[in-house]
Amino acid sequence: MAAFAHSAPCWVDVQLSDLEAGKRFYGGLFGWTFRAGDGMPFADALSGGRLVAALAAKKDGRMPTAWGVYFATEDIRATVAAIREHGGQIITDPVRAGRAGIVAQAADPGGAVFGLWQPEEREGFEKQNEPGSFCWTEVHTRRPESVDPFYEKVFGFRGTDLDEAGNDVSGDAEALVDFRMWSPEGTEPGPDTAVGGRSVITDAFPAELPSYFLTYFAVADCEAAAELAVQLGGRVSAPPFDIPYGRMAVLHDDQGALFAVLQPRELLP
């Protein structure tokens, strides 16, 4: 299993009220198989025998039914300190997850929740950027002016602002920019090195909509995935549409968890 660079998204999981129903939905949608977590109330999801995600039974019914993303760190306590220093909050202090690694949960200054993962025996994904696996994440926020510097300082991200066509507009101060891609420290910022992004929640959305991370999974056929999600009891939040990097749709599973599917441009007919 390849190691993940500091700050790279390395894992995702979803908190569900009905774990068995979740297995049926995601097994039907992505072809995932599942492996019990040593008697724990969660199940590892595998695609082609390789780890791609986890499904977990909610410990408390008040917890949101949602997908969560985890960023790799070589020193989780130092990252926790940086989060506090730069205006974020720690929801769960670092705790050991058996022999797999050390985990913590945090929120950025806009309130979006994310996880930290310091690996030991488990690095993270064994498969990504292929159909049936994680391919992208982005935070949706109302506070880009505080969220952007937070991620740049905590994780060392370097941003690239894009216009609606996905072009770099960093040299055009008057361009209307509402999307930023993040590249890890030490790389040349741009779409080729980006590991995540930031989108702005506009006034067109209800005021009660909180900031959140949207997790994307790659699929071979966006339309077919959206149709299948509905057949499995889910619903479509945003029907399939084209973006510079392929064709995507935003979906809810049969328990309400939000996620996106992306048919990469190279898989389009």
Each residue of 60-84: pLDDT tens digit?
A: 878 889 999 999 999 999 999 999 9
Q: In sequence order, what are the residues at sequence separation of 6 or more whose Cβ sits closer than 8 angstroms to the Cβ of residue 245?
A: 166, 191, 262, 264, 265
Per-residue model confidence as pLDDT tens digits over 80-125: 999 999 999 999 999 998 899 999 999 999 999 999 999 999 999 9
Distance CA 74, CA 4 (A): 9
Which pLDDT value is given to residue 172?
A: 43
Distance CA 260, CA 39 (A): 30
pLDDT exceeds 90 at position 251:
yes
Q: In sequence order, what are the residues at sequence separation of 6 or more whose Cβ sits closer than 8 angstroms to the Cβ of residue 81?
A: none
pLDDT exceeds 50 at position 239:
yes
Q: In sequence order, what are the residues at sequence separation of 6 or more whose Cβ sits closer than 8 angstroms to the Cβ of residue 191?
A: 160, 162, 166, 168, 181, 245
Token pair belonging to 59: 């410990």
CB atoms within 10 A of CB 218: 23
More confident site: 203 or 240: 240
Which pLDDT value is given to residue 63?
A: 85
More confident site: 192 or 175: 192
Which pLDDT value is given to residue 162?
A: 77
DSSP 3-state assignment of 266? Answer: helix
Which pLDDT value is given to residue 163?
A: 60
- Binning pLDDT at 50, 70 and 90, where does residue 169 land? very low
Per-residue model confidence as pLDDT tens digits over 130-156: 999 999 999 999 999 999 999 999 999
| Average pLDDT in the chain | 90
